[in-house]
Amino acid sequence: SYELTQPSSVSVSPGQTARITCSGDILSKKFTRWVLQKPGQAPMLLIYKDTERPSGIPERISGSSSGTTVTLTISGAQVEDEADYYCYCVADNSWVFGRGTKLTVL
């Protein structure tokens, strides 16, 4: 089975850049997605195909990929960016999730 590793938490001050990494061997072969989840809400897609943003997602949110590690970058972090962030990919129709990263902006 595949594993994706994320830090459990990341903390930045308002206006700083937050970077959340996700690593796993499968990422060199499959596209990565990132979702944001706030308490009581469904996951919201932020990034797909490693670097693409769905319409409505601001440009300060970006994704990058290098080998077996992908990175979600949030520039100019705001208090409203506080949430849980999950990376995932789909391999053989099965969805493989990271354990999630709690972003704190304070």
Partner 1 sequence: EAQLLESGGGLAQPGGSLRLSCAASGFTFTREVMGWVRQAPGKGLEWVSYITGNGGGTDYSDSVKGRFTVSRDNSKNMLYLQMDSLRVEDTAIYYCAKDRPYDGDYWGQGTLVTVSS
Task: State the nearest-atom distance from the C-beta of 10 to partner 1, in Å.
Answer: 16
CA separation (Å) from 29 to 1, 15, 32, 47, 55?
Answer: 14, 34, 9, 17, 25
2 counts as binding partner 1 under rule CB under 8 A = no
Number of residues lying near partner 1 (CB under 8 A): 23
Binders of partner 1 among residues 12 to 71 (CB under 8 A) are 31, 33, 35, 42-45, 48-49, 52, 54
103 counts as binding partner 1 under rule CB under 8 A = no
Distance CA 104, CA 106 (A): 6
